[in-house]
Amino acid sequence: MASTSESSSSSTSVVSTEDFLHYLIIGFAFSAVLYGITIMQAYVYYRRYPKDDLWLKIFIALLLIIDTLTTAFAGQGLHTYAVDDYLQPDKLDTIVWSLIVEDYLCIVAAVLVQFYFAQRLWILSHGNWLLTGMIAILALISLATGTWICTDMFMGPSISLYATVAARVLAAICSGSRALADVLISGGLCYYLHTSRTGLKQSDTLIDKLMMYAIQRGLVTTICQGFDFITILAFPTSLIYLPVILILSKLYIIALLATLNVRKSLNPATAGTTNVIELESMPAFARAPETVATVHDSEMMRSRGLIPMHSRSSVIAFDVKDPDLMDETNKDKPILPT
Protein backbone atom coordinates (compact mmCIF):
# COMPACT_ATOMS: atom_id res chain seq x y z
CA MET A 1 0.00 0.00 0.00
CA ALA A 2 1.55 3.23 -1.10
CA SER A 3 1.76 5.81 1.64
CA THR A 4 0.43 9.26 1.03
CA SER A 5 3.38 10.60 2.99
CA GLU A 6 5.70 9.38 0.25
CA SER A 7 4.04 11.67 -2.25
CA SER A 8 4.34 14.76 -0.03
CA SER A 9 7.76 15.57 -1.36
CA SER A 10 6.43 15.61 -4.92
CA SER A 11 3.62 18.02 -4.08
CA THR A 12 4.21 21.63 -5.01
CA SER A 13 1.45 22.87 -2.69
CA VAL A 14 2.30 24.13 0.76
CA VAL A 15 -0.17 24.39 3.63
CA SER A 16 0.15 27.54 5.74
CA THR A 17 1.02 26.73 9.34
CA GLU A 18 -0.53 30.04 10.39
CA ASP A 19 -3.84 29.07 8.79
CA PHE A 20 -3.58 25.69 10.48
CA LEU A 21 -3.42 27.31 13.92
CA HIS A 22 -6.22 29.76 13.10
CA TYR A 23 -8.60 27.04 11.95
CA LEU A 24 -7.62 24.81 14.87
CA ILE A 25 -8.60 27.51 17.37
CA ILE A 26 -11.91 28.18 15.59
CA GLY A 27 -12.71 24.48 15.38
CA PHE A 28 -11.91 23.84 19.04
CA ALA A 29 -14.10 26.76 20.14
CA PHE A 30 -17.12 25.39 18.28
CA SER A 31 -16.24 21.87 19.41
CA ALA A 32 -16.29 22.90 23.07
CA VAL A 33 -19.71 24.52 22.67
CA LEU A 34 -21.14 21.43 20.96
CA TYR A 35 -19.63 19.21 23.66
CA GLY A 36 -21.66 21.11 26.24
CA ILE A 37 -24.79 20.53 24.17
CA THR A 38 -23.95 16.83 23.97
CA ILE A 39 -23.64 16.56 27.75
CA MET A 40 -26.95 18.35 28.21
CA GLN A 41 -28.70 16.08 25.69
CA ALA A 42 -27.22 12.99 27.34
CA TYR A 43 -28.39 14.15 30.77
CA VAL A 44 -31.90 14.67 29.42
CA TYR A 45 -31.85 11.23 27.80
CA TYR A 46 -30.83 9.31 30.93
CA ARG A 47 -33.32 11.22 33.08
CA ARG A 48 -36.20 10.96 30.64
CA TYR A 49 -35.84 7.35 29.48
CA PRO A 50 -34.60 5.21 32.41
CA LYS A 51 -36.36 2.13 31.03
CA ASP A 52 -34.74 2.10 27.60
CA ASP A 53 -32.88 -1.07 26.70
CA LEU A 54 -29.55 -1.55 28.43
CA TRP A 55 -27.68 -1.92 25.14
CA LEU A 56 -28.90 1.51 24.03
CA LYS A 57 -27.78 3.11 27.28
CA ILE A 58 -24.35 1.51 26.92
CA PHE A 59 -24.16 2.66 23.31
CA ILE A 60 -24.92 6.26 24.32
CA ALA A 61 -22.33 6.04 27.11
CA LEU A 62 -19.74 4.82 24.59
CA LEU A 63 -20.46 7.76 22.31
CA LEU A 64 -20.14 10.13 25.28
CA ILE A 65 -16.75 8.67 26.14
CA ILE A 66 -15.59 9.09 22.55
CA ASP A 67 -16.92 12.65 22.46
CA THR A 68 -15.14 13.49 25.71
CA LEU A 69 -11.88 12.04 24.41
CA THR A 70 -12.09 13.95 21.13
CA THR A 71 -12.61 17.21 23.01
CA ALA A 72 -9.73 16.47 25.37
CA PHE A 73 -7.35 15.48 22.56
CA ALA A 74 -8.25 18.58 20.53
CA GLY A 75 -7.61 20.73 23.59
CA GLN A 76 -4.29 19.01 24.23
CA GLY A 77 -3.22 19.59 20.64
CA LEU A 78 -4.13 23.27 20.81
CA HIS A 79 -2.28 23.62 24.12
CA THR A 80 0.82 22.07 22.56
CA TYR A 81 0.88 24.57 19.70
CA ALA A 82 -0.18 27.65 21.68
CA VAL A 83 1.71 27.06 24.95
CA ASP A 84 4.33 24.31 24.81
CA ASP A 85 5.64 25.32 21.37
CA TYR A 86 5.08 29.05 21.82
CA LEU A 87 7.49 31.14 19.69
CA GLN A 88 8.66 27.98 17.92
CA PRO A 89 6.98 28.30 14.50
CA ASP A 90 9.04 25.47 13.05
CA LYS A 91 7.13 23.00 15.23
CA LEU A 92 3.81 24.08 13.77
CA ASP A 93 4.59 21.96 10.73
CA THR A 94 4.37 18.79 12.81
CA ILE A 95 0.95 17.29 13.52
CA VAL A 96 0.56 16.54 17.22
CA TRP A 97 -0.31 12.90 17.94
CA SER A 98 -3.40 13.89 19.95
CA LEU A 99 -4.95 15.59 16.91
CA ILE A 100 -4.44 12.45 14.85
CA VAL A 101 -6.16 10.34 17.51
CA GLU A 102 -8.93 12.94 17.75
CA ASP A 103 -9.47 12.77 13.99
CA TYR A 104 -9.73 8.99 14.05
CA LEU A 105 -12.14 8.94 17.00
CA CYS A 106 -14.36 11.42 15.16
CA ILE A 107 -14.49 9.05 12.20
CA VAL A 108 -15.35 6.11 14.48
CA ALA A 109 -18.14 8.06 16.21
CA ALA A 110 -19.73 9.04 12.90
CA VAL A 111 -19.64 5.43 11.67
CA LEU A 112 -21.21 4.13 14.90
CA VAL A 113 -24.10 6.59 14.64
CA GLN A 114 -24.65 5.68 10.99
CA PHE A 115 -24.71 1.99 11.87
CA TYR A 116 -27.30 2.69 14.56
CA PHE A 117 -29.61 4.46 12.12
CA ALA A 118 -29.00 1.74 9.53
CA GLN A 119 -30.11 -0.86 12.06
CA ARG A 120 -33.25 1.16 12.86
CA LEU A 121 -33.93 1.50 9.15
CA TRP A 122 -33.50 -2.24 8.65
CA ILE A 123 -36.24 -2.84 11.23
CA LEU A 124 -38.53 -0.18 9.80
CA SER A 125 -38.09 -1.56 6.27
CA HIS A 126 -38.77 -5.13 7.43
CA GLY A 127 -35.27 -6.27 6.48
CA ASN A 128 -34.34 -4.34 3.34
CA TRP A 129 -30.82 -5.71 2.97
CA LEU A 130 -30.06 -3.73 -0.18
CA LEU A 131 -30.61 -0.30 1.36
CA THR A 132 -29.10 -1.04 4.75
CA GLY A 133 -26.23 -2.91 3.11
CA MET A 134 -25.38 0.10 0.95
CA ILE A 135 -25.37 2.33 4.03
CA ALA A 136 -23.12 -0.10 5.89
CA ILE A 137 -20.70 -0.35 2.95
CA LEU A 138 -20.47 3.44 2.62
CA ALA A 139 -19.86 3.78 6.36
CA LEU A 140 -17.11 1.15 6.20
CA ILE A 141 -15.53 2.93 3.22
CA SER A 142 -15.34 6.14 5.25
CA LEU A 143 -13.83 4.20 8.15
CA ALA A 144 -11.26 2.49 5.90
CA THR A 145 -10.14 5.68 4.15
CA GLY A 146 -10.06 7.55 7.45
CA THR A 147 -7.90 4.81 8.96
CA TRP A 148 -5.55 5.03 5.98
CA ILE A 149 -5.17 8.80 6.34
CA CYS A 150 -4.59 8.66 10.11
CA THR A 151 -2.02 5.88 9.69
CA ASP A 152 -0.10 8.01 7.20
CA MET A 153 -0.26 10.94 9.61
CA PHE A 154 1.39 8.84 12.30
CA MET A 155 4.07 7.68 9.87
CA GLY A 156 4.77 11.19 8.57
CA PRO A 157 3.19 13.77 10.91
CA SER A 158 3.62 16.83 8.71
CA ILE A 159 0.99 19.42 7.84
CA SER A 160 2.24 19.29 4.25
CA LEU A 161 0.57 15.87 4.07
CA TYR A 162 -2.77 17.67 3.76
CA ALA A 163 -1.64 19.17 0.44
CA THR A 164 -0.76 15.89 -1.27
CA VAL A 165 -3.06 14.63 -4.00
CA ALA A 166 -3.36 11.17 -2.45
CA ALA A 167 -4.37 12.53 0.95
CA ARG A 168 -6.94 14.88 -0.54
CA VAL A 169 -8.47 12.10 -2.65
CA LEU A 170 -8.73 9.80 0.36
CA ALA A 171 -10.22 12.58 2.48
CA ALA A 172 -12.74 13.37 -0.26
CA ILE A 173 -13.76 9.70 -0.50
CA CYS A 174 -14.14 9.59 3.28
CA SER A 175 -16.37 12.68 3.36
CA GLY A 176 -18.29 11.78 0.22
CA SER A 177 -19.15 8.26 1.37
CA ARG A 178 -20.36 9.55 4.73
CA ALA A 179 -22.50 12.21 3.05
CA LEU A 180 -24.06 9.65 0.71
CA ALA A 181 -24.78 7.34 3.64
CA ASP A 182 -26.56 10.20 5.42
CA VAL A 183 -28.67 10.88 2.34
CA LEU A 184 -29.67 7.21 2.11
CA ILE A 185 -30.54 7.08 5.81
CA SER A 186 -32.74 10.18 5.69
CA GLY A 187 -34.30 9.18 2.38
CA GLY A 188 -34.96 5.65 3.56
CA LEU A 189 -36.58 6.78 6.81
CA CYS A 190 -38.80 9.23 4.95
CA TYR A 191 -39.82 6.64 2.36
CA TYR A 192 -40.77 3.91 4.81
CA LEU A 193 -42.52 6.34 7.13
CA HIS A 194 -44.47 7.64 4.14
CA THR A 195 -45.57 4.11 3.22
CA SER A 196 -46.95 3.76 6.76
CA ARG A 197 -49.61 6.40 6.13
CA THR A 198 -53.19 5.28 6.69
CA GLY A 199 -55.23 8.32 5.72
CA LEU A 200 -56.05 9.00 9.38
CA LYS A 201 -55.31 12.59 10.31
CA GLN A 202 -53.77 11.93 13.73
CA SER A 203 -51.39 9.22 12.62
CA ASP A 204 -50.42 10.98 9.40
CA THR A 205 -49.64 14.18 11.31
CA LEU A 206 -47.27 12.29 13.56
CA ILE A 207 -45.68 10.55 10.60
CA ASP A 208 -45.17 13.95 8.97
CA LYS A 209 -43.36 15.10 12.11
CA LEU A 210 -41.18 12.00 12.09
CA MET A 211 -40.29 12.59 8.46
CA MET A 212 -39.35 16.18 9.25
CA TYR A 213 -37.08 15.03 12.07
CA ALA A 214 -35.50 12.45 9.77
CA ILE A 215 -34.72 15.16 7.22
CA GLN A 216 -33.38 17.55 9.85
CA ARG A 217 -31.24 14.79 11.33
CA GLY A 218 -29.34 14.25 8.12
CA LEU A 219 -29.42 17.79 6.74
CA VAL A 220 -26.78 19.38 8.98
CA THR A 221 -24.29 16.52 8.73
CA THR A 222 -24.81 16.20 4.99
CA ILE A 223 -24.20 19.92 4.45
CA CYS A 224 -21.03 19.76 6.57
CA GLN A 225 -19.81 16.69 4.71
CA GLY A 226 -20.54 18.38 1.39
CA PHE A 227 -18.61 21.48 2.48
CA ASP A 228 -15.76 19.23 3.59
CA PHE A 229 -15.78 17.34 0.27
CA ILE A 230 -15.80 20.49 -1.90
CA THR A 231 -13.16 22.45 0.01
CA ILE A 232 -10.78 19.50 0.21
CA LEU A 233 -10.76 19.21 -3.58
CA ALA A 234 -11.13 22.89 -4.48
CA PHE A 235 -8.62 24.40 -2.05
CA PRO A 236 -5.64 22.04 -1.75
CA THR A 237 -3.48 24.52 0.20
CA SER A 238 -6.23 25.64 2.59
CA LEU A 239 -7.38 24.01 5.80
CA ILE A 240 -10.71 25.80 5.85
CA TYR A 241 -12.39 22.43 6.37
CA LEU A 242 -10.48 21.75 9.62
CA PRO A 243 -13.17 23.27 11.92
CA VAL A 244 -15.76 21.03 10.28
CA ILE A 245 -13.62 17.96 10.95
CA LEU A 246 -13.34 18.92 14.62
CA ILE A 247 -17.10 19.28 15.14
CA LEU A 248 -18.46 16.61 12.81
CA SER A 249 -18.60 13.72 15.28
CA LYS A 250 -20.40 15.95 17.78
CA LEU A 251 -23.03 16.81 15.19
CA TYR A 252 -23.67 13.10 14.64
CA ILE A 253 -23.94 12.37 18.37
CA ILE A 254 -26.20 15.37 18.98
CA ALA A 255 -28.42 14.28 16.08
CA LEU A 256 -28.79 10.82 17.61
CA LEU A 257 -29.50 12.14 21.12
CA ALA A 258 -31.98 14.69 19.79
CA THR A 259 -33.78 11.92 17.89
CA LEU A 260 -34.04 9.85 21.06
CA ASN A 261 -35.06 12.75 23.30
CA VAL A 262 -37.79 14.03 20.99
CA ARG A 263 -39.84 10.87 21.50
CA LYS A 264 -41.53 12.16 24.64
CA SER A 265 -42.44 15.49 23.09
CA LEU A 266 -44.08 13.61 20.21
CA ASN A 267 -45.85 11.30 22.66
CA PRO A 268 -49.46 12.48 22.85
CA ALA A 269 -49.89 10.84 26.27
CA THR A 270 -47.31 13.09 27.88
CA ALA A 271 -48.88 16.06 26.18
CA GLY A 272 -52.23 15.29 27.83
CA THR A 273 -54.08 14.40 24.63
CA THR A 274 -55.96 11.27 23.65
CA ASN A 275 -54.10 10.57 20.45
CA VAL A 276 -53.83 6.87 19.83
CA ILE A 277 -50.24 6.48 18.74
CA GLU A 278 -47.25 6.23 21.05
CA LEU A 279 -44.03 6.80 19.15
CA GLU A 280 -41.37 5.72 21.61
CA SER A 281 -41.02 2.22 20.19
CA MET A 282 -41.19 3.23 16.56
CA PRO A 283 -38.47 1.20 14.81
CA ALA A 284 -36.87 4.43 13.62
CA PHE A 285 -36.26 5.36 17.22
CA ALA A 286 -35.84 3.11 20.24
CA ARG A 287 -37.91 0.64 22.17
CA ALA A 288 -40.32 2.17 24.62
CA PRO A 289 -40.75 1.40 28.33
CA GLU A 290 -42.74 -1.63 29.30
CA THR A 291 -45.98 0.31 29.75
CA VAL A 292 -48.93 1.35 27.64
CA ALA A 293 -48.88 5.10 28.16
CA THR A 294 -51.60 6.34 25.83
CA VAL A 295 -54.52 5.06 27.87
CA HIS A 296 -54.98 4.00 31.48
CA ASP A 297 -56.98 0.87 31.04
CA SER A 298 -56.88 -1.93 28.48
CA GLU A 299 -60.68 -2.24 28.49
CA MET A 300 -60.98 1.44 27.67
CA MET A 301 -58.53 0.86 24.82
CA ARG A 302 -60.59 -1.92 23.33
CA SER A 303 -63.81 0.03 23.72
CA ARG A 304 -62.23 2.73 21.57
CA GLY A 305 -61.09 0.26 18.95
CA LEU A 306 -57.46 0.22 20.06
CA ILE A 307 -55.16 -2.76 20.39
CA PRO A 308 -51.75 -2.81 22.12
CA MET A 309 -49.29 -4.07 19.51
CA HIS A 310 -46.81 -5.72 21.88
CA SER A 311 -46.55 -6.39 25.60
CA ARG A 312 -43.21 -4.54 25.76
CA SER A 313 -44.29 -1.71 23.51
CA SER A 314 -46.52 1.30 23.92
CA VAL A 315 -47.32 1.45 20.21
CA ILE A 316 -51.05 1.40 19.69
CA ALA A 317 -52.84 0.34 16.51
CA PHE A 318 -56.36 0.95 15.36
CA ASP A 319 -58.62 -2.06 15.27
CA VAL A 320 -58.95 -2.71 11.56
CA LYS A 321 -62.32 -4.36 12.18
CA ASP A 322 -63.82 -1.03 13.23
CA PRO A 323 -65.18 0.60 10.02
CA ASP A 324 -65.49 3.94 11.83
CA LEU A 325 -61.73 4.14 12.30
CA MET A 326 -60.51 2.99 8.90
CA ASP A 327 -61.62 4.15 5.49
CA GLU A 328 -62.27 1.76 2.65
CA THR A 329 -58.87 2.30 1.04
CA ASN A 330 -56.88 1.60 4.19
CA LYS A 331 -58.69 -1.24 5.95
CA ASP A 332 -55.87 -3.69 5.38
CA LYS A 333 -53.05 -1.30 6.17
CA PRO A 334 -51.60 -1.15 9.72
CA ILE A 335 -51.21 2.21 11.38
CA LEU A 336 -47.53 1.58 11.98
CA PRO A 337 -45.03 -0.97 10.66
CA THR A 338 -45.01 -3.99 12.94
Q: Other CB atoms closer than 10 Å to residue 156's CB: what's the count?
A: 17
DSSP code for 336? S
Residue 161 reports pLDDT greater than 90: no
Residue 297 reports pLDDT greater than 90: no
Which pLDDT score is estimated for 334? Answer: 41
Judged by average pLDDT, the poorest of 10-19, 68-77, 280-289 is: 280-289
Q: Does residue 77 lie within any of the structural domains?
A: yes
CATH number for position 128: 1.20.1070
Residues 6+ apart with CB under 8 A from 183: 218, 222
Which pLDDT score is estimated for 15? Answer: 60
Angle at 116 between CA 285 and CA 258, to 5 degrees: 50
Q: Does residue 58 lie within any of the structural domains?
A: yes
Q: What share of the chain is helix, strand, coil (3-state, %, to 5)?
A: 70, 0, 30
Q: Does residue 335 lie within any of the structural domains?
A: no
Which residues span the domain enclosing 139? 13-188+220-266
In 3D, which of 272, 268, 262, 255 has the Cα closest to residue 315?
268
Which pLDDT score is estimated for 201? Answer: 72
Residue 316 reports pLDDT greater than 70: no
**Cα 72–chain centre separation:** 21
**Mean pLDDT of all residues in the chain?**
75
Distances (CA, A) of 78 to 5, 20, 82, 152, 218: 23, 11, 6, 21, 30
Collapsed DSSP state (helix, strand, coil) of residue 5: helix
Which pLDDT score is estimated for 294? Answer: 41
State the total domains in the chain: 1
Q: Does residue 174 lie within any of the structural domains?
A: yes
Q: Does residue 5 lie within any of the structural domains?
A: no
Which pLDDT score is estimated for 87? Answer: 61
- Entry pTM: 0.73
Note the pLDDT tens digit of each residue in 189-205. 888 887 777 777 777 77
Note the pLDDT tens digit of each residue in 253-264. 999 998 888 887
Which pLDDT score is estimated for 114? Answer: 94
Segment 314-330 mean pLDDT: 39
Which pLDDT score is estimated for 133? Answer: 93
DSSP code for 85? T
Q: Does residue 178 lie within any of the structural domains?
A: yes
Q: Does residue 328 lie within any of the structural domains?
A: no
Which pLDDT score is estimated for 313? Answer: 37
- Determine the Cα–Cα distance for residues 274 and 262; give it in Å rounded to an integer: 19
Which pLDDT score is estimated for 330? Answer: 45
Q: Does residue 320 lie within any of the structural domains?
A: no
Which pLDDT score is estimated for 224? Answer: 87
Segment 40-46 mean pLDDT: 94
Q: Select the more confidently predicted residue: 127 or 337.
A: 127
